[in-house]
Amino acid sequence: MKITLSAAETVIAAAKAATEERGLPPMSISVVDDSAHLVAFARMDGTFLGAIDVAHRKAKTAALFTVDSAVLGPNLYPGAAAYTLEHSNGGLIGFGGGVVLKDKDGNTLGAIGVSGGSVDDDEIVAQAAAAALVK
């Protein structure tokens, strides 16, 4: 099942609201479907340009492996089981801010990637946005 544009827009609105409510730096927000194809994107005013690619790669990572990027990350460290995997699929990212999106029944719809703040800030915003789908 793939995320709809309407649902992706809901997720982006929730990410923007979470960013503003917490007084965090502006974010780039990428929403992809379950095949890691872009459905919707927003770059909040003032977000640095490097965050665009990082947000998209976080979303892509979560979608392709159906696991949050922060969970996959430790497997990518030197000496870990999947070291150098981040070089596959056009580039992946293994730190917080990429979250799998699921519907109320637990079906995977896609993923969100958020970048623009600290890794912790990005993760908080991505988790808040993902929660908007199951309310």
Closest alpha carbon to 22 in 119, 132, 117, 131 = 117
Higher pLDDT, 27 or 133: 27
CA nearest 16: which of 116, 134, 135?
116
Phi/psi at 23 (5° precision):
65, 35
Write down the CATH number for the domain with range 5-117+129-134: 3.30.450.150
Q: 44-84, pLDDT tens digit by residue? A: 999 999 999 999 999 999 999 999 999 988 888 888 888 88
Cα angle 39, 42, 45 (rounded to 5 degrees) comes to 175
pTM: 0.94
The upper half-sphere exposure of residue 31, i.e. CA atoms within 13 Å in the direction of its Cβ, equals 29
**Kind of pairing, strands 108-115 and 28-33?**
antiparallel
Q: Is the pLDDT of residue 135 over 80?
A: no
pLDDT band at 9 (very low <50, low <70, confident <90, very high): very high
Q: Does the structure show a pLDDT above 90 at 92?
A: no
